[in-house]
Amino acid sequence: MTRLSPLATEVMSKNIVEFKGVTKTYNVGSRDAFTAISDVTFEIEDLPGKGEFITVLGPSGCGKSTVLRMIAGLDPQHPPTSGSVLVSGTPVMGPGPDRGMVFQDYTSFDNRTVLDNVAFGLECRGIDRATRHEKAREWIQRVGLNVQSDAGKFPHELSGGMRQRVAIARTLILHPRIILMDEPFGALDPHTRQQMQDLLIQLWNDVEATVFFVTHSIEEAVYLGDRVFIFSRGPGRLQHQIPIPRSTVPTHEIHRDPDYQRRVLEISEIMEQLESQKP
């Protein structure tokens, strides 16, 4: 029988992300002081070779972006006013290569081609041109763009869906352990959105990362999530964590699945209650 040393056990049981009593007040000490989230506590276990997909719901202004940006280590959300934000057991000190972020608004560089946008992170890491372009072409293909016809285009020549494919490729090419997505498909039409959801699930199965995905769509949260976080308003608190068992129903039939429908309804009722509370 192999015995693990106490140290090894500790390392193995580490959480990939943990919030311990996290409160964020913006503009502390001024008349504009505003507490966005209060006493938020949760743990996301590190599941090697299989990250968890967390979807995040809550009324507008309840602090969803604040939570994501704290994990990313971005100012002024970082650092917390009190409590601690831990990634892999260590307090977040700032941005790092273990975390990648995809925003709703298309954040590619206008003056760079698709190829050079996707290769950007590798360029920052000092990877030589031939190697980073080869990797970038591989990722352009993986996110469903056409290497021949799309790699040389500039962002203004792309549709919204294509731009988000570029944003996803730009992030995943760096192999982050944690992917932070802030309403990434919020601006897309329903059909494109569904295509992007399927693409994301397919990529996520390969990249084995933990995902935090903020959305306004309850359907999207239930469809994508292993666990749905629901925040309440003013200041935001984590009210519910609802586990969603992986569905075996094929994608195009999910909307007719009774379990899926029941969960959407259950969460809709929770959300209606939260939305109706006074800010």
Report the alpha-carbon distance of residue 133 to residue 117 in Å, rounded: 10
Shortest CB 129 distance to ligand ADP, Å:
38
Q: Binding to ligand ADP by residue 36, rule CB under 6 A?
A: yes
Question: How is residue 238 written in tokens?
Answer: 């984590």
Q: Is 85:22 a contact under the CB 8 Å cutoff?
A: yes
Residue 215 interacts with Mg ion (CB under 5 A)? no
Q: Which of 52, 57, 63, 161 binds ligand ADP (CB under 6 A)?
A: 63
Name the 3-class secondary structure at 118.
helix
What is the widest separation between alpha-carbon atoms in the chain?
62
Is the peptide bond preceding residue 155 cis, with omega within 30 degrees of 0? no
The smaller minimum CB distance to Mg ion, of residues 65 and 215, is found at 65
Minimum distance of Mg ion from residue 182's CB (angstroms): 6
Which of 15, 26, 141, 192 binds ligand ADP (CB under 6 A)? It is 26
Report the candidate in 25, 5, 157, 2 with the shortest Cα–Cα distance to residue 80: 25
Residue 104 per-residue DSSP state: S
Pick the stretch among 57-65, 104-112, 187-195, 201-209 that binds ligand ADP (CB under 6 A): 57-65
The residues that bridge with 100 in the sheet, in sequence order, are 179
The C-alpha atoms of residue 132 and residue 217 are separated, in whole angstroms, by: 36
CB of 102 to ligand ADP, least distance (A): 15
Structural contact between residues 122 and 174, judged by C-beta atoms closer than 8 angstroms: yes
Q: Is 64 in the site for ligand ADP (CB under 6 A)?
A: yes
R_g of the chain, CA atoms, integer Å = 20
Interacting stretch for ligand ADP, rule CB under 6 A, among 56-64, 109-117, 145-153, 257-265?
56-64
Draw the binding track, 76-115, toward ligand ADP (x: CB under 6 A; -: no contact): x---------------------------------------
**Closest by Cα among 20, 55, 25 to 41:** 20
CB of 242 to ligand ADP, least distance (A): 18
Q: Return the number of other C-beta atoms located less than 10 Å from residue 126's C-beta.
A: 7
- For residue 22, the SS3 value is strand
Nearer to ligand ADP by C-beta: 24 or 137?
24
* 65 lies in the binding site for Mg ion (CB under 5 A): yes
Residues near ligand ADP (CB under 6 A), total:
13
The partner in contact with residue 215, picked from ligand ADP, Mg ion, none with C-beta cut-offs of 5 to 8 angstroms by kind, is none
**Residue in the structure block whose two tokens are 């629901």:** 230
- The residue of the chain with the least Cβ separation from Mg ion equals 65
**Interface stretch with Mg ion, choices 60-68, 70-78, 107-115, 202-210 (CB under 5 A):** 60-68
Residues in contact with Mg ion by CB under 5 A are 65
Residues in contact with ligand ADP by CB under 6 A are 26-27, 34, 36, 58, 60-66, 76
